[in-house]
Amino acid sequence: MAQADIALIGLAVMGQNLILNMNDHGFVVCAFNRTVSKVDDFLANEAKGTKVVGAQSLKEMVSKLKKPRRIVLLVKAGQAVDDFIEKLVPLLDTGDIIIDGGNSEYRDTTRRCRDLKAKGILFVGSGVSGGEEGARYGPSLMPGGNKEAWPHIKTIFQGIAAKVGTGEPCCDWVGEEGAGHFVKMVHNGIEYGDMQLICEAYHLMKDILGMEHDEMAQAFEEWNKTELDSFLIEITANILKFRDSDGAHLLPKIRDSAGQKGTGKWTAISALEYGMPVTLIGEVPLHDEPSGLVVWILIVFLGKIKDAFDRNSELENLLLDDFFKSAVENCQESWRRAVSTGVQAGIPMPCFTTALSFYDGYRHEMLPANLIQAQRDYFGAHTYELLAKPGEFIHTNWTGHGGSVSSSSYNA
């Protein structure tokens, strides 16, 4: 008998917590896992006393769903997603919905969206942010794909999402095909950049200023009362204060090796492909809708970013907005002093220094790329433009040997 509002495949912690979140908001969820014994364990433990139902097969799961059927995949990105889609399609009807909530590459989501559209299935690729805690009590959700699916999942998605301000959900439709996973990719890339900046500040405070962990925690707590108020600043203060079972601070015991799921790297690669400068993200170790900012990392000054684009929707760069221009100008002296101190002491600060170089590059009316153009023309006859003759490509015979190249025959 069809009784469930939605199904979720993948009972790792994220999947379990999303199910419990949906249950808390009045939705009946059917749980399934490739290892079916995990379904029984979940129903007997974490989901005991809830309205969550289970299934021992995909066929049984589909039979328990109201139409149009809504199925969330929370499995490992890549082949596992394609494998489940292949098994599900024969069991579904036209207009049924498959939602990929994993960290899929946005091009894969675009491909799946197009393939399933041809078969009458509505596909959604949704970014899910907030970790295990967010999944349980309110994630940020970034759905995109076949927009026909949105009216059928909107109530569930916006119901379980985190809320900001006066209750606005951290969830909205972000665009067609792979847009949801593209936004999540950029979201993660910015998050990794932010984390690296915090790590570099921590490095300076610890090794240059000689601050103790509790002192650093207090500094981060104070920063969190300013425009820097954010989830990452808050948890950094908590981490710095945290003590192990032996009473000593835990952080110094942790191996200095960081992992990531690929989305930060994808952001840097995509930026290169689209010709967008995101050098800060590229240094991390390894849309047109301003309202979409509510689905992003919880940072207070995101409101300032939204305000900037509300004032000028065609704003080319935030550095040109009065608020951000003033903020950077007011802090650039201390910024330069911090970078200089770190460099002189041999402290690696890839993000602080790269961001400063980008800012300085943006401030200069003319940069030395004219020398690069001359060099390319010298060794490869790639031509160049003169300031006085834009659009006209010229080659100079720098050595007095060889032929000449006209603007009509070679345009580089």
Whole-angstrom distance, CA of residue 45 vs CA of residue 135 = 18
Q: What is the torsional sign of CA 89, 114, 98, 149? A: negative
Is the sign of the CA dihedral 364, 368, 370, 376 positive or negative?
Answer: negative
Task: Give me the residue label for tokens 């007997």.
Answer: 44
Cβ atoms of residues 170 and 164 within 8 Å: yes
Contact in structure between 66 and 3 (CB atoms under 8 Å)? yes
What single string gives the DSSP state of each residue in 299-332? Answer: BTTHHHHHHHHHH-TT-S-GGGSHHHHHHHHHHH
Buried b (16+ CB within 10 A) or exposed e, 87-99: ebeeebeeebbbb
Active site residue 105: no
Catalytic residue among 38, 64, 184, 206: 184
Q: Does the active-site annotation cover 86?
A: no
Q: Cβ distance 232 to 194 under 8 Å?
A: yes
How far apart are alpha carbons 297 and 265 in whole angstroms? 18
3-state secondary structure of 58: helix
How far, in Å, CA of 58 to CA of 39, rounded?
12
Q: For residue 88, give the nearest of 112, 53, 52 by alpha carbon.
A: 112
Q: For residues 42 and 54, is the Cβ–Cβ distance under 8 A?
A: yes
| Catalytic annotation, pick one of 191, 200, 206, 265 | 191
Kindly list the distances between the CA atom of residue 105 and the CA atoms of 84, 88, 169, 310, 381, in Å, as whole numbers in the listed order. Answer: 17, 21, 25, 30, 39
Q: Which residues are identified as catalytic?
A: 184, 191
